[in-house]
Amino acid sequence: MTTQTLGLEQNLYDYLLSVSLREPKILTQLRQETNQHPMGRMQIAPEQGQFLALLVQLLGAKKTLELGVFTGYSSLVVALALPPEGKVVACDVSEEFTAIARRYWQQAGVADKIHLCIAPAMETLDQLLLAKQAETFDFAFIDADKSKYDDYYERSLQLVRPGGVIAIDNVLWSGRVADPQVQDNRTKKIRAFNQKLHQDTRISLSLIPIADGLTLALKN
């Protein structure tokens, strides 16, 4: 995992941020607090957050799904980009991490847009499908347990409408996916997932080398 785009020299990365990043103060404060957290490397990069917000705006999204909240940067950036009636269904298992997220959602005035589900993500996804919410979401962001990406993707594909987008984080996995010497379970799972999506005719596909690699899957 990485909190900035892979492969860029620091001076070029700093330049990228200086001419592109328009980060609201509340997001800067959350990012800085999370950077001090022992698990701070799990936070998405600010340029990635801004890209997600742009996607949400381009889609005209009103209903979004998030798998993996951590301290809430991605859910906050999406909630800020949604219209007043917009909603985020956010899934996580940690009360500790999401307590930070809740505090910032409240400060930003978007807490009413975000429905947090503290439960294993698969349980929440299955409940949404049982509640007949298939094809009602405009956008989904997957950034949870890497070994379950395939399961999360399949459920999200059912929940997102045709023309909706699923974004999946960490698909370049700090470059380990391209190193044949790396054969741990999570890396192998991400490799297999990337290969599956490459062949999946249900979607239009692009893997963007932003942050730690972000796959965009447009549902046909």
Query: What is the Cα–Cα distance from 220 to 214, expressed in whole angstroms?
Result: 19
Q: Please report the pLDDT score of residue 41 as a whole number.
A: 85
For residue range 142-176, what is the model confidence (pLDDT) as tens digits?
Answer: 999 999 999 999 999 999 999 999 999 999 999 99
Residues with Cβ within 8 Å of 11's Cβ and at least 6 positions away in sequence, in order, are none
Query: What is the Cα–Cα distance from 41 to 156, expressed in whole angstroms?
Result: 25
For residue range 43-96, what is the model confidence (pLDDT) as tens digits?
Answer: 999 999 999 999 999 999 999 999 999 999 999 999 999 999 999 999 999 999
Quote the mean pLDDT of the chain. Answer: 96
Q: Are 161 and 137 in contact (CB under 8 A)?
A: yes
Q: Are 163 and 197 in contact (CB under 8 A)?
A: no
pLDDT tier at 7, thresholds 50, 70, 90: confident
